Structure 1
Amino acid sequence: MKKFIFLFTAIFCLQISFAQKSKTYNDSIKAFQKTYVTSHEVVKTADRKFFRFYPADKTYAIQCSFEKSTDTTVVVMKTSGKKIPQKDFIRYGKLIFTIHDTALQLTVYQSKLQTPLTKDYLFIPFADVTSGDETYGSGRNIDLLITDIKNNTALADFNKAYNPYCVYSDGYNCPIPPRENYLVVAIKAGEKTFAKKH
């Protein structure tokens, strides 16, 4: 009987521990979304009620293998704008992961134009099965820093996927994800389509 009580207590404590960890993660995503909305540079305060997000889902925070690229070829990405119809990037590496039992990879890019402020900044534009339906048609972005890559691994948190500025206003030149970053699964995490047209 004592063993049963001990086992039951241990399982109960583990469940509470897992729930607290899950809640902590969900709370962190809610805080991220709140900061994202209240500090957005393009969307004015009156229109911030039109932001929409998927519920936080930790299964979309994926620890990926990272492979550094040796390819120095410049990747010319088309943009959504007319003033700057294309932007130049370099393949920094790729993230390799599995989601929904599907093996996938995403190319990680670095801008060809480097400044002291952007030298550690990496860019992951992607499109998926939700693009053009629940999410922006041309795709979304995830940010990464070089310092986020440790021991050839990096976290890709799709709960922090966000829309490019061209979703909210004309006049922006947003890179369109290359074909190699089109995912054949639905990424139901991060920012959805904006609920107001511009």
Structure 2
Amino acid sequence: MKNFFYTFFIIAISCSSNKPTYEDEIKLVQYELNTEYANASTSPLTEEGLKIFKSLDFFKIDKNYSVEASLELTPNTPIFEMQTTTDRLPLYRKYGIAHFTLHGKKFELSVYQSQDLMTNVEYEDYLFLPFNDKTSGNLSYGGGRFLDLKLPSEGSKTIIIDFNKAYNPYCAYNHKYSCPIPPSENTLPIEILAGVKAYGKYH
């Protein structure tokens, strides 16, 4: 059934225009997230939350929140234990610092690489970008939000950060999970009005 609705969604996008737009791309990301959360076998929701779940709440799609950042590599940074909501301390290393401009102002965020996932063939090119901003604890989840990034191609000095793809950690939906806490250096002094909103509605 999931495959049927996925196929239907793709056809609907394809028929809307000759070429999928940026908004179509983000709507597909949102659709896939909603599909995952509505499925009992993949959902982080509690049993009670799953029964009443209809959709996640998203900020309005805004392409201005998709930025090309210059990536300053940090190859000599030490491996460290990232704090989580439990006693679990996963190992990460700061892979680099992303410098970008948003709304005419310059910002930077640290990008991390999981020492466990980098040994997994499926996730060896995975980078992790957790962050807080001025919506945290209000319009968005108080424990911060996450972005999944991919290692840039060899020789590339840039990386795309698309806040429209920002999602909540599983702890936003169910306290049984152990979730990384964004390091303080990744707190942005602005509102990021993009991505997934707070989940108080169904919790």
* TM-score interval, normalised by the smaller of the two chains: 0.7 to 0.9
Q: Could you say which residue in structure 2 is the equivalent of 1:30? A: 27
Equivalent residue in structure 1 for 2:129, among 116, 124, 147:
124
The 2-side partners of 1:137 and 1:148 are apart by 33
Separation (CA, whole Å) in 1 of partners of 2:153 and 2:189: 26
Shift of 1:45: 5.1
Moved more, 93-102 or 161-170: 93-102
Task: Indicate the residue corresponding to 1:89 in structure 2.
Answer: 92
Q: TM-score, normalised by structure 1?
A: 0.81
Provide the identity percentage.
40
Of residues 185, 194, 200, the one that matches 1:189 is 194
RMSD value, Cα = 2.3
CA–CA separation in structure 2 for the residues paired with 1:104 and 1:47: 39
State the partner residue of 1:4: none
**CA distance change for structure 1 residues 47 and 153 in 2, over 3 Å: closer, same or farther?**
farther
Equivalences for residues 21-170 of structure 1 within 5 A? 24-40=21-37, 41=42, 42-43=44-45, 46-82=51-87, 84=88, 86-113=89-116, 114-147=119-152, 151-170=156-175
TM-score by length of 2: 0.79
Match of 2:10 in 1: none
Instruction: Please give the secondary structure, in 2, of the residue aligned with 1:39.
Output: helix
Q: How many angstroms apart in 1 are the aligned matches of 2:54 and 2:26?
A: 18
> Which whole-Å deviations, capped at 9, do the CAs of 1:72-100 have from their partners, x for residues lacking one?
31232211124x2x222001111100112
Deviations along 1:125-160, whole A, 9 cap, x unmatched?
A: 000010011000110000011146762111100000
Determine helix, strand or coil for the equivalent of 1:104. strand
Which structure has the greater CA radius of gyration?
1
Q: Which residue of 2 aligns with 1:15?
A: none
Which ranges of structure 1 fall in alignment gaps of 5 or more residues?
Answer: 1-19
